[in-house]
Structure 1
């Protein structure tokens, strides 16, 4: 009888390995929320990376400004051709310079200078005040150059050029400045251009001008 009672004794219910206080629906909903949060975070990081890339290729991509000589005027050369320079006044050359800035920040220049050469001899130089070319704009400045008569007439070919009434000179213009996007992203530039100029001594008109960067 004792053996039969032991056989009829009910077995203890199986105990699961892990008991969860939350229903399966809650766990599934929570898992979906985590997946959505991770997806949103990944999307935001991707948008941020694309934005930074666009900024690096556009605004933060600092480009080289360029120069152009827009005009050249000379006053006082008639005194050389007519031998009327009794007051020893120097002829004046005025170079109109345009500075094209392709950047999203201003190009501020602190040194703009022009040197004038005649047959390889430096016969004049001048400087302009500091200035700036605005973002994606073109700034303009006039550089005044005093041409030194003593050096002009001292060149061996001056007499022959005086007889034919023409003067061939070359101009070298240099502008130093900086483009500053932020305190970290900034870049200094030295922009220059060289021009050959043919001047009619009688009319003081620039007949021909060719420039190279």
Structure 2
């Protein structure tokens, strides 16, 4: 019996060692290769699509509607897919929100960049009420800020789910004469 129990003890030690090695390998992979990273949102282009000016004589005011076509791309740098829920992107002028557009829920595969073509209607009354608008228009550059919040889950090895919220804030300069995006500086923040 002692011979059999000694053999069983060796098998038990070997199996335990293999299980510990597998767990360590999974933990090392989860903390290095499969570590959740924030998705990177970039404003690729912004184009003025429509400007509608109406004069309301009865109320003694001018109504202005401006529509922007915004091309946004989101890159998933993770080695696994990223599922995100309904999100939003905001457009701000000098700290004041002047537009918002929804980003529908979806999924981005590993190392994939997904493009979004968003149409944004500007709340022109908020834009026109800013005293610095005239000086910015005469200078030829309109300083804008985009802010997007994308919330979702990264599934690591099919059973570990990590909740990720990515905030992206981009300061952009729109060239008024040719209606293109000039300088763009983005800041990223992620909460796991």
Question: For residues 30-65 of structure 1, what are the alpha-carbon distances to aligned partners after superposition, in whole Å with 9 as ceiling and x for unaligned?
Answer: 544432332122111111111012112325865233
**Does the Cα contact within 8 Å between 2:76 and 2:82 map onto a contact in 1?**
no
Structure with bigger gyration radius: 1
Which residue, 97, 105, 109 being the options, matches 2:73?
97
- SS of 2:86's equivalent in the other structure is strand
Residue of structure 1 equivalent to 2:47: 74
Assess, with a 3 A threshold, how the Cα gap between structure 1 residues 124 and 174 changes in structure 2: closer, same or farther: same
Give the whole-Å Cα distance in 2 for the aligned partners of 1:152 and 1:55: 52
Match of 2:106 in 1: 131
Match for residue 49 of structure 1? Answer: 20
Question: What stretches of structure 2 of length at least 5 have no aligned partner?
Answer: 55-62
- What is the RMSD of the two structures over their aligned residues, measured on CA atoms? 2.6
Quick one: distance in 2 between partners of 1:76 and 1:85?
A: 14
Matches within 5 A, 1:16-35: 31-35=2-6
1:179, 1:187 within 8 Å by CA — same for their partners in 2? yes
Q: TM-score, normalised by structure 2?
A: 0.79
Q: 1: CA distance between counterparts of 2:75 and 2:120?
A: 18
Please, what TM-score do these two structures have when normalized by structure 1? Answer: 0.72
Any unmatched runs of 5+ in structure 1? 1-29
Partners in 1 of 2:74 and 2:68 — Cα distance? Answer: 19
Kindly indicate which of the two structures has a greater share of residues assigned to strand.
2
Alpha carbons of structure 1 residues 144 and 50: separation in structure 2 relative to 1, 3 Å: farther
- In proportion to residue count, which structure has more helix? 1
Partner in structure 2 of residue 27 of structure 1: none
